[in-house]
Chain A
Amino acid sequence: MAVAALPSTNTAARRAFGPTTARIVAGFVILAFWEIVARLAAPDFVAKPSGIIAAIPSVITSPSFLEAAWITIAATAEGLVAALILGTALGLFVGRSVIADRALRLWVNSFNAMPMIVALPLMSLWFGYTSAARFATIIFAAIFAVIINAAEGAQSVPKDYLEVAGSFRASRLRVLFEVVVPASTPYLLAGLRLAAGRALIGAVVAEFFLAIPGLGYFILFHSRTYHQNEAFVAVLLLAGFGVGCDVLITAATRRYLPWYRRDERTD
């Protein structure tokens, strides 16, 4: 075994496998393991890598899949944008006003700690089994993470900046848009990263629950009718979307805010 925790102890194994090779090998090991277990121990309809790969071309060209993917991703984006606008406004308000902080903090934290999917039955009561209920679920799932991070960002603005802005008699609005918002960008991005993941979960769960068209329903329908390979292609797309958001936001933080070291307080 290559027990190499030091950069200097380059073992033979390490020289033979660079990280990329190791990753590819590991990927194949995972897929092979899955394939073998599925073939030996599971019924025929169970999703396995060979079946999924074979299903990809027909699924990603089928209109029903493309439509479902578009619906879910558009709904997630819509809900996320709404949560972001509302949440940032509320969060900055909570962060800048002591009274708002004291009045709302308890409730924001409590709602944030609540598993958001408990709201689904209520949403279906309020909005019926419609895409409006999904929209509301996505907002509810995403908004508290945005509020908390925006508030934290607004509170972390260095006092010096605010004092300088104050001594130049900057209006409150200008202080907000030209000092507070730029200074809290890293926090807003951290909130967005978290909110994106939660919004996606909210969308899928809402589609399961409400049985309205979208990727969640696509997965539900195809796995129930023993087309698990087809259903799994949709899971791959969801995973890709989740990872894509994560990578994009992390890269943006590194590129444009390199001084900001993201700590692990993200979930």
Chain B
Amino acid sequence: MRAALSRHGPFLLSLSGGLALWEIVGRNTSEAFMAPLSETLVRLVQLTEAGKLVPQVESSLALFVTGFVAALVVGMPLGLLFARVRLLREAFDVYIMILYATPMVALIPFILSLMGFGFAPKVLVVFLFAVFPILYNTVEGARSIRPELIEVARSYRSSEWALWREVMVPYTLPFVMTGVRQAIGRALVGMIAAEFFLSATGLGALIMTASQSFDTAGVFAAILIIGVLGVGLMHIGTMLEAHFARWRH
């Protein structure tokens, strides 16, 4: 009991301190600016009971997962291919780096006018946000494979398939996971940006409608859910990265 308390004590203290601060500040500022924690939670329960919260969370998650999986399915094999075929890698690495550093939000108006308001353009936005970190880190990881490893595999007459399975993929995986963690963060931004600026759906729509009707508690309720979602997803990313990075340096 005591050990558990001293381990989790600071965490709980920090959590309750922050929440208390939220409550106090919320109570002492204008209602139009901020809603205290208690009101936010009440609003959250109301939204859930009215059946408005769960479908929106599901809709946002569907968008996130579809775009993210697409980014993974495209980014990882493409990254490995670029890594293996040196000519391709040298030819395209600059462009990958440029796209990695380009703020993808700037493309949203183009996607809107080309593809309109459906589900597909939003998936494309999430995909574009997420794919370049994965691609960039995969290429970066595969670039750092020690040539000796491939040389040894070669001198044992390893087949191309075995080389990929035994050397390329295991060696690159930790780097891919770094890309995955970065991509999770970016895909979340992409998800909200798509929901704000393309058709309003999901949690983004929840925030928008709440703020348009000056329902501050509603805005905070939606932000709270997105925050919890973000922290949870980020945690998964960090765990994946730590799991696969055990042997890295």
Contact = CB atoms under 8 A, between A and B. Distances in A.
B196 interface: yes
Contacts of B92: 26
B196 A117 contact: yes
Interface in B154-209: 154, 160, 175, 178, 181-182, 185-186, 188-189, 191-193, 196-197, 207-208
A264 B87 contact: no
Nearest to A13: B87
Interface stretch (B14-22, B51-59, B66-74): B14-22
A110 B147 contact: no
B61 interface: no
Interface stretch (A157-165, A168-176, A215-223): A215-223
B26 to A, nearest CB: 13
A7 B33 CA distance: 62
Nearest to B93: A23
B14 A106 contact: yes
B86 A5 contact: yes
Contact of A197 (B87, B101, B219): B101
B98 A239 contact: yes
Contacts of A27: 95
B105 A119 contact: no
B133 A267 contact: yes
Given A115-B189, A125-B32, A2 B109 contact: no
A65 interface: no
A19 B192 contact: no
Interface string A110-146: 1101111111111011100000000000000000000
Interface residues of A, number: 72
Interface of A: 1-7, 13-14, 17, 19, 22-23, 25-27, 30, 42, 45-47, 102-107, 109-111, 113-122, 124-126, 197, 200-201, 204-205, 208-209, 215-216, 219-220, 223-224, 226, 228, 231-232, 234-235, 238-239, 242-243, 245-246, 264-267
Interface of B: 10-11, 13-15, 17-18, 32-33, 84-87, 90-92, 94-95, 97-98, 101-103, 105-110, 112-114, 133, 137, 140, 145, 147, 150-151, 154, 160, 175, 178, 181-182, 185-186, 188-189, 191-193, 196-197, 207-208, 210-211, 214, 216, 219, 222-223, 226-227, 230-231, 233-234
